[in-house]
């Protein structure tokens, strides 16, 4: 082999260096990566060993392409890596989020080789990966080992401290160290110090204003200030919720710094002052302050959160005009905000169109689209989209879990929650809220309680969203007291919490208490929303409070400026019909500002069923058949109306109609928890030993009841015309099997909780009322969205039946 001259080596090295430089210029990272790999392959083929800045550049590109394993294979084994290469590796590994690798390289560097810069890189690594404590500790080690911290060190360690500092003493100690080190005049160090004070101002242990004034004094004494100095003070005021001080500070600024204005605008958005945020933007525009993607994202988010869709669209048009050729960075954040704007105003397809056109997308874009599908109830698309997301974040899972739960897919939501944990993600309070909601949907009280315990253990018990989910869960599982306990012990509540608690009382027949709670809510100055009114109207309906219901319905448009929607009208019709006030119900329907739709007729039919108002009921059913001929609920309501009057031939006609029109009687399934074991009942399982046992018990019970003289007077026993077991006292719906199973297993006085995947029908309702009296147990049945509580022959429920 011929000796290569020094001259040749230099030429080759220069050529490679030039090639690498070329491929690193203005290319997306994956292109840089593949170009660098090609150059590298040439080096290997020609026997050239990269060193010095060529090696560093290669390391940089490989690491940034997040192909860490490949980078490791190439570089970790090189024994003679110099301190510069090692520092590059440390910085690159930690920038890619892999602290473990960074630490390995750092620890593998002997003390004699280390310098301040490599400590700085490691401290920054910790700081970037949110490990403030480790950064501060390494800073201590560094000083112990006699390395002199410089201005870079202080800037990094202070920004790490801003993650964890929570008392004034720590701030002052660091302040002293800065002064002693002689870096106390460096702007970046002082900025970082100010932000530590600002962070401390948020700690519950201190007085925010005193820490904030310390930060402000530091700022006032600075000899040189840059953009960041101003911005830090503004965000400080914003964070301690002193928006006026922030605004005053900004107004006093002589320089026109876009970043500072951005901080102010986002502060307003954060605290819900959307109009103020937009006003700031207008002023900024008029004064000619530089706008950028941060400005636009905040402003669009103000429109999205404030429901100002028209303005939002105008902003969209304005941005398109202004930024003819946006950079990928610009369009990423702005488009993400736009996606949110569009799906929030119900235009998921427009949002998706923006997503499709985006040059670069990230996890935020994907999560936003996923939320769009979920919020629109387009679960099938959400499932598909979720599957295609490669880099699922905690939020991705959370959106999916709560989306499934809210759309009634409780079991699937639970599966996702468990899967997420299996993949090593620790659920946040929102994820818990989703899982708890799925327990509410399933009526899984035991599981819900377990989640409640875990929530407390993980310190999420003061969470608003989890608390709201717990109220609903306990209420849906029949434990109103627990719901109330959660409501009373929550540190912060919002209108959702109030709504949930009012609904909890209403669902359990405590209509009067529900109204009282509503009045209390008004006294506390909480603005009722459309959901509140829906809940209050159904509370009135269940408690038979016609006068109060009408009053609240009227006050909705009057005092609270909300327009009643079709659902509100439907509740009013329900209220009036339950009270037998059919002519008033008819008047109300005629006075409606829109054509009555299905919910209105359904409420009317249900009311007619209760009072046996056949003519009107049949009219309502006819309208429903026109509007939605395939909806099984209408047929069930109608047949129950006939059944109640003993018109069995008409019942049979309705059943025939159902068969003729191909409306399937869905296979019902019920389940009951006894001694922590879940027992599932399907009507089709008649040969199952457990079901056989139930039949046997049922037979005995039937005999007993006949002996007591109950059976001959009860029409419901014969109602299920298709049952093979009609000779028994109770016909064989799955929920009845479950209840009877409960009677067999649970002692007198116990509460039997049954959950059903379909609506329970009229004869079951009668049967349970009757059973709760005869067998002296409380029976709680949950079906779909409704709740039935049977006690001593009475039923309180949020239900038409």
Candidates 230-238, 477-485, 587-595, 641-649 — which segment interacts with DNA by CB under 7 A? 230-238
How distant is the alpha carbon of residue 759 from its chain centre?
A: 28
With CB under 7 A as the contact rule, which of the stretches 145-153, 411-419, 529-537, 539-547 interacts with DNA? 145-153
Interacting residues with DNA between 417 and 436 (CB under 7 A): 428, 430-431
Whether residue 719 contacts residue 731, with contact meaning beta carbons closer than 8 Å, is answered with yes
434-463 residues near DNA, rule: CB under 7 A? none
Is 686 among the residues that bind DNA (CB under 7 A)? Answer: no
Smallest gap from Cβ 496 to DNA, in A, equals 12
Q: Is 407 in the site for DNA (CB under 7 A)?
A: no
Q: Write b or e for each residue in 283-318: b if 16 or more Cβ atoms lie within 10 A of its Cβ, otherwise e.
A: ebeeeebebebbbbbbbbbbbbbbebbebbbebbee
Least distance in angstroms from the C-beta of 563 to DNA: 24
Token representation of residue 650: 């008409």
Nearer to DNA (CB atom), residue 367 or residue 513: 367
For residue 241, state whether it binds DNA (rule: CB under 7 A).
Answer: no
Quick one: 304 or 521, whose CB is closer to DNA?
304
Instruction: Choose, by CB under 7 A, the member of 13, 51, 96, 226 that binds DNA.
Output: 226
Judged by beta carbon, residue 156 or residue 532, the one nearer DNA is 156
What CA–CA distance (Å, rounded) separates 436 from 474?
Answer: 10
**Contact set for DNA, span 267-326 (CB under 7 A):** 267, 269-270, 292-294, 297-298, 301, 304-305
Nearer to DNA, 52 or 793 (CB): 52
- Which one, of 323, 352, 321, lies nearest residue 338 by Cα? 352
Q: Which is nearer to DNA, 84 or 746 (CB)?
A: 84
- Judged by CB under 7 A, the residue of 145, 167, 227, 626 near DNA is 227
Residue 253 near DNA by CB under 7 A: no
Note whether 24 binds DNA by CB under 7 A: no
**Is the Cβ–Cβ distance between 437 and 465 less than 8 Å?**
no
152 counts as binding DNA under rule CB under 7 A: yes
The edge-to-edge listing of strands for the beta sheet with 751-756 is 677-682, 669-674, 751-756, 778-783, 786-791, 794-797
Neighbour count for residue 211 (Cβ, 10 Å): 23
* Sole binder of DNA in the list 105, 161, 263, 546 (CB under 7 A): 263
499 near DNA, rule: CB under 7 A: no
- In the three-class reduction of DSSP (H, G, I as helix; E, B as strand; rest coil), residue 786 is classed as strand
To the nearest whole angstrom, how small is the minimum distance from the Cβ of residue 310 to DNA? 18
Closer by beta carbon to DNA, 262 or else 513: 262
Tell me the closest approach of the beta carbon of residue 286 to DNA, in angstroms. 19
- Which residues, 6 or more positions from 110, have their beta carbon under 8 angstroms from its beta carbon? none
Question: What interhelical angle do 363-375 and 394-406 show, nearest 10?
Answer: 0
Rounded to a whole number of angstroms, the minimum distance from the CB of residue 721 to DNA is 45
Taking every pair of Cα atoms in the chain, the longest distance, rounded to a whole number of angstroms, is: 114
Q: Which residues are within 8 A (CB) of 89 and not within 5 positions of it... i.e. 6 or more apart?
A: 59, 63, 71, 75, 81, 102, 105
Listed in sequence order, the DSSP H helices in 544-664 are 546-558, 566-578, 582-591, 598-611, 614-627, 632-644, 648-660
- Rounded Cα distance between 743 and 772, Å, is 10
Query: What contacts 586, CB < 8 A, 6 or more positions away?
Result: 616
CB neighbour list of residue 734: distance below 8 Å, 6 or more residues apart? 668, 669, 670, 681, 682, 683, 756
Q: Judged by CB under 7 A, which stretch of 209-217, 257-265, 634-642, 744-752 contacts DNA?
A: 257-265
> What's the min distance (Å) between Cβ of 452 and DNA?
18
Total site size for DNA, rule CB under 7 A: 74
Give me the 188-217 binding string for DNA, x by CB under 7 A, dash otherwise. Answer: x--xx--x----------------------
Residue 364 near DNA by CB under 7 A: yes
Residue numbers 57-116 binding DNA by CB under 7 A: 83-84, 87-88, 91, 115-116
Asked if residue 19 binds DNA (CB under 7 A), the reply is no
Placement of tokens 């298709």 in the chain: 722
Q: How far apart are CA 373 and CA 403, in angstroms?
A: 9
| Binding span for DNA by CB under 7 A among 150-158, 204-212, 415-423, 767-775 | 150-158
Q: Considering only residues 155-184, where is the footprint of DNA by CB under 7 A?
A: 155-156, 159, 162
Choosing from 337, 440, 705, 711, the residue that interacts with DNA (CB under 7 A) is 337
Q: Is 84 exposed, middle or buried (0-12, 13-18, 19+ CB in 10 A)?
A: middle
Q: Which of 19, 65, 402, 510 binds DNA (CB under 7 A)?
A: 402
Provide, rounded to whole angstroms, the least separation between the CB of residue 344 and DNA: 7
Give the residue with the Cβ less far from DNA, 261 or 770: 261
């Amino acid at each position: 082999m011929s000796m290569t001259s020094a001259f040749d080596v230099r030429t080759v090295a220069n050529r490679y260096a030039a090639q690498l430089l070329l491929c690193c210029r203005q290319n997306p990272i994956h292109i840089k990566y593949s170009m660098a790999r090609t150059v590298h392959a040439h080096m290997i083929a020609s026997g050239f060993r990269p060193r010095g800045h060529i090696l560093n550049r290669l390391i940089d590109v490989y690491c940034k392409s997040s192909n860490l394993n490949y980078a490791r294979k190439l570089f970790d084994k090189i024994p003679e890596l110099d301190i510069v290469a090692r520092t590059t590796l440390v910085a690159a590994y930690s920038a890619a989020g892999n602290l473990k690798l960074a630490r390995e390289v750092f620890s593998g560097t002997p003390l004699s080789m280390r310098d301040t810069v490599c400590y700085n890189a490691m401290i920054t690594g910790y700081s970037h990966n949110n490990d403030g404590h480790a950064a501060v500790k390494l800073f201590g080690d560094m000083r112990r080992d006699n390395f002199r911290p410089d201005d870079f060190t202080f800037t990094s360690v202070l920004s790490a401290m801003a993650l964890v500092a929570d008392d004034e003493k720590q701030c002052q100690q660091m302040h002293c160290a800065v002064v002693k080190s002689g870096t106390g005049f460096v702007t970046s160090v002082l900025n970082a110090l100010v932000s530590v004070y600002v962070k401390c101002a948020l700690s519950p242990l201190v007085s925010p204003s005193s820490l904030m004034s310390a930060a402000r004094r530091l700022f006032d004494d600075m000899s040189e200030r840059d953009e960041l100095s101003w911005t830090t003070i503004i965000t400080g005021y914003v964070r301690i919720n002193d928006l006026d001080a922030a605004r005053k500070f900004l107004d006093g600024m002589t320089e026109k710094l876009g970043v500072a204005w951005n901080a102010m605008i986002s502060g307003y958005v954060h605290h819900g002052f959307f109009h103020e945020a937009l006003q700031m933007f207008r002023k900024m525009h008029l004064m000619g302050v530089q706008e950028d993607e941060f400005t636009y994202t905040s402003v669009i988010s103000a429109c999205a959160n404030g429901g100002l869709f028209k303005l939002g669209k105008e902003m969209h048009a304005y941005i398109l005009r202004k930024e003819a050729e946006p950079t990928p960075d610009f369009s990423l954040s702005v488009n993400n905000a736009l996606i949110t704007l569009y799906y929030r105003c119900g235009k998921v397809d427009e949002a998706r169109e923006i997503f499709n056109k985006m040059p670069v997308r990230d996890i935020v874009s994907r999560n936003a689209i996923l939320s769009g599908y979920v919020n629109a109830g387009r679960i099938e698309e959400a499932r598909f989209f979720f599957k295609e997301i490669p880099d699922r974040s905690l939020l991705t899972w959370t959106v999916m879990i709560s989306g499934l739960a809210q759309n009634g897919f409780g079991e699937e939501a639970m599966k996702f929650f468990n899967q997420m944990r299996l993949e090593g993600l620790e659920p946040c309070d929102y994820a818990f809220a989703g899982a708890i909601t799925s327990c509410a949907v399933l009526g899984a009280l035991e599981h819900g309680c377990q989640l409640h315990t875990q929530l407390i253990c993980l310190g999420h018990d003061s969470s608003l969203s989890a608390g709201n989910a717990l109220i609903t869960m306990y209420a849906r599982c029949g434990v109103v007291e627990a719901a109330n306990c959660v409501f009373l012990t929550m540190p912060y509540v919002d209108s959702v919490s109030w709504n949930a608690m009012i609904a909890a009382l209403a669902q359990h027949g405590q209509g009067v208490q529900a109204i009282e709670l509503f009045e209390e809510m008004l006294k506390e100055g909480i603005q009722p929303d459309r959901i509140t009114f829906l809940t209050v109207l159904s509370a009135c309906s269940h408690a038979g409070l016609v006068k109060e219901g009408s009053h609240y319905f009227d006050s909705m448009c009057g005092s609270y400026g909300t327009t009643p929607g079709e659902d509100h009208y439907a509740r009013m019709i329900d209220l009036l019909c339950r009270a037998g006030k059919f002519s008033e119900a008819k008047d109300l329907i005629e006075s409606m500002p829109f054509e009555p739709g299905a919910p209105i007729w359904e409420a009317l039919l249900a009311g007619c069923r209760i009072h046996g108002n056949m003519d009107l009921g049949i009219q309502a059913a006819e309208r429903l058949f026109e509007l939605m001929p395939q909806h099984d609920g209408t047929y069930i309501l109608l047949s129950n109306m006939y059944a109640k009057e003993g018109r069995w031939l008409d019942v049979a006609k309705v059943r025939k109609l159902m068969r003729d029109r191909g409306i399937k009687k869905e296979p019902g399934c019920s389940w009951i928890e006894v001694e922590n074991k879940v027992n599932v009942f399907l009507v089709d399982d008649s040969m199952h030993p457990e079901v056989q046992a139930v039949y046997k018990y049922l037979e005995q019970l039937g005999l007993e009841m006949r002996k007591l003289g109950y059976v001959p007077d009860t029409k419901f026993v014969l109602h299920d015309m298709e049952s093979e077991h009609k000779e028994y006292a109770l016909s064989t719906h799955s929920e009845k099997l479950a209840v009877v199973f409960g009677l067999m297993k649970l002692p007198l006085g116990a509460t039997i909780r049954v959950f059903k995947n379909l609506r329970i029908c009229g004869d079951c309702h009668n049967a349970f009322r009757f059973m709760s009296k005869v067998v002296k147990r409380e029976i709680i049945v949950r079906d779909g969205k409704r709740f039935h509580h049977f006690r001593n022959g009475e039923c309180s429920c949020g239900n038409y039946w």
